Amino acid sequence: MILDPIAEASSSRAEIEREVARRRTFAIISHPDAGKTTLTEKLLLYAGAIELAGAVRGRHARRHATSDWMELEQQRGISITSAALEFELQGRRMSLIDTPGHDDFSEDTYRALIAADGVVMVIDAANGVEDRTRKLFEVCRRHRLPILTFINKLDRPARDPLELIDDLERTLGIAAAPVNWPIGSAERFRGVYDMSSRTFLRYQREAQGQHRAPVTVSSLDDPNAREMIGEDLYAHFRESLDVISEAGSAFDLAEYRAGRQTPVFFGSALTNFGLEPFLQALVEFSPPPQERSSDTGVVHPIDERFTGFVFKIQANMDRRHRDRVAFVRVCSGRFTKDMIVSNSRLGNSIRASRAYRFFGRERETIEVAYAGDIVGLVNPGQFGIGDTLHSGPALRFPELPRFPAEHFGRMRLKDTRYKQFDEGIRQLEEEGLMQVFYLASSRREPLIGVVGALQYDVIASRLKNEYGVAAEIEPQEYAAARWLANVDGPPPPLGGGRVMAADSHDRPVILFTSEWELRYFERHHPDVVLFEESPGLR
Ligand SMILES: Nc1nc2c(ncn2[C@@H]2O[C@H](COP(=O)(O)OP(=O)(O)OP(=O)(O)O)[C@@H](O)[C@H]2O)c(=O)[nH]1
Ligand SMILES: [Mg+2]
């Protein structure tokens, strides 16, 4: 065989282009409890990636939702950590990230958003646009992420659909284009009307919702359909439709892709209604991997050199291996197993010998990955959140958002398993779940700083389940931590509402008892430069 380097290069290029074109990576976001995890589970069911849908809350013996794999998530029926799920659908490689809605876990959600190219926004039909949704939407707008909206829980009493559309447009300042329209809600939920095909999808309640529900499609001109809907509901529906067709936006792919318009779907994830059209829209409309900016210029997904960044680290997902996984969003090129990748923060290189793709907690070894893919690398201690990985010359993607800790608690070990305790503290800090500080007076009892107090429960529960350590966390009066920029300078004046501490790398930190104290200090000591985060992370 004659090797032709030009032909080989162009075939590799063609392969990258082909693979990138079929990838879709998106995150599911909303206010807590709107139904993200339930919708995720049902999308997996309808995509054929699972055979039986699990529930968010359920008796012990029942299946749990794939994306809520952590023990505490299953006990509480809430999502605590984002979960990546990869599956094939109609020739597309879909990567979906289910995110936690609760404010206290929002750092994780923000990072997942940056790893995605598009977003699914879930709205509870009874509540409309809620506080968290508004905040997350702002991040989407900043990153120009296209959004598909699913208005959920139509099987329960809901607000009028015209009001919901109006709420989306007013509160978020985005055009909302209904793709289908619901008729009735709760006991009188009859189904949805598809605006473009002008057909009616009839709602039939599936008792458990574990299996796919049958769909009945008919025309609304059919007198049987009208009778089934009921005259009053039908009349109200016709009126709404007139309003929407006069004053509403029609779906426009370019407007959606530019983040100026969101197509809106109505349904009920729990009872398996409205999922087919939504999944179809995800396949057809959502964008392929997008270009990314870096400090050395724009990186195109079809560039041949491999680049990516670590957006999440998670320890102990697999009970048998007890390892730490760094989740990498691939941004360009071709990643291959055993490839040597460089980390631009550390300036070192390592062999990526253990690379996986994920489906909730489950993993599978991969040989190759392209832009859009989420790859899990197992290399203990080698990666930090936000690290840029690459082949070829060094580059850096923008830093990922970090939120300064606002709550501080003293960790107290209740048994004598110091080694496991130290290990747990180190790994949970590496995940970004908390920051760890030591006061000179008590090395044995670290102070931990978190963004939201719910994280205390997560930390205590994970120390127990994953490290076999009983620890309790006692809230302390501190409200902010700041790193000293000048480590070798004279010690800053202390006393009042501030004390010196050190982080786990022995870097000096000042702890303040209130935001006010911090501001006061900054005003009176403009010469002391403070950082919101550890300089070691840069
Ligand atoms: N009636 C009804 N209940 C639903 C529907 N979708 C979800 N739920 C219920 O709403 C609750 C919250 O659902 P989740 O899927 O956990 O919501 P989430 O948005 O993932 O919540 P967090 O991840 O904690 O923010 C659960 O009890 C679900 O069973 C629906 O279509 N109809
Ligand atoms: Mg959830």
- In this prediction, residue 60 carries a pLDDT of 58
Ligand nearest to the CA of 56: 1
User: Which of 358, 353, 352, 350 has the alpha carbon at shortest distance from 317?
Assistant: 358
**Among all ligands shown, which has an atom nearest to the Cα of 30?**
1
* Separation between Cα atoms, residue 423 and residue 488, nearest integer Å: 30
Residue pair 67/98 in contact (Cβ under 8 Å)? The answer is yes
Across the range 348-353, mean pLDDT stands at 95
CA of 269 to the centre of ligand 1 (A): 8
Q: What is the mean pLDDT of the chain?
A: 93
**Shortest-distance Cα residue to atom 2 of ligand 1:** 153
pLDDT over threshold 70, residue 1: no
3-class DSSP state of 338: coil
Interior angle at CA 291, CA 289 and CA 295, nearest 5:
140
Q: pLDDT grade, residue 208 (50/70/90)?
A: low
Q: What is the DSSP string of 242-289?
A: HHHHHHSPPP-HHHHHTTSEEEEEE-BTTTTBSHHHHHHHHHHHSPPP
- How far CA 383 is from CA of 314, 343, 436, 495, in Å, comes to 11, 8, 18, 37
Which residues, at least 6 apart from 43, have a Cβ–Cβ distance to it below 8 Å? Answer: 96, 275, 278, 279, 282
pLDDT interval class at 2 (50, 70, 90):
low
pLDDT score of 537 more than 70: no
As a whole number of angstroms, the distance between CA 23 and CA 96 comes to 11
For ligand 1, atom 24, the nearest C-alpha belongs to 78
137 C-alpha vs ligand 1 centroid, how far in Å? Answer: 19
- 134 closest CA partner among 92, 104, 101, 158: 101
| DSSP label at residue 204 | -
Length of the chain: 538
Only one residue has tokens 């646009």, namely: 129
Radius of gyration of the chain (CA): 25
Q: Find the ligand nearest to 269 CA.
A: 1
| Confidence category of residue 519, pLDDT binned at 50, 70, 90 | very high
Q: State which of 61-70, 292-301, 485-494 shows the largest mean pLDDT.
A: 292-301
- The answer to whether residue 201 scores a pLDDT higher than 70 is yes
Query: Model confidence at 207, in pLDDT bands (50, 70, 90)?
Result: low
| Best residue among 28, 30, 33, 136 to mutate for probing ligand 1, ranked by most atoms within 8 Å of CB | 33
Q: What is the pLDDT of residue 452?
A: 95
Q: Output the pLDDT for position 320.
A: 84
- pLDDT value for 321: 80
Task: Determine how β-strand 348-351 pairs with β-strand 340-343.
Answer: antiparallel
Q: pLDDT higher for 298 or 495? A: 298
How much is the pLDDT for 223?
82
Diameter of the chain by CA atoms? 86
CA 55 to ligand 1 centroid distance, Å: 9
- 365 vs 222, more confident: 365
- The tens digit of pLDDT for each residue in 46-102 reads 999 999 999 887 665 578 999 999 999 999 999 999 999 999 999 999 999 999 999
How far apart are the C-alpha atoms of 240 and 481, rounded to whole Å? 53
Quickly count: other Cβ atoms within 10 Å of residue 82's Cβ.
Answer: 25
Average pLDDT over residues 362-371: 97
Q: Against a cut of 0.85, is the pTM above it?
A: yes
- So what's the pLDDT on residue 4? 74
Q: Is the pLDDT of residue 268 over 90?
A: yes
pLDDT value for 487: 85
Q: What is the pLDDT of residue 536?
A: 64
DSSP string of 443-484? Answer: EEEEEEEESSTHHHHHHHHHHHHHH---EEEEEES--EEEEE
- Residues with CB under 6 Å of ligand 1 are 30, 32-38, 56-57, 78-79, 100-102, 152-153, 155-156, 268-270
In this model, does residue 538 exceed pLDDT 70? no
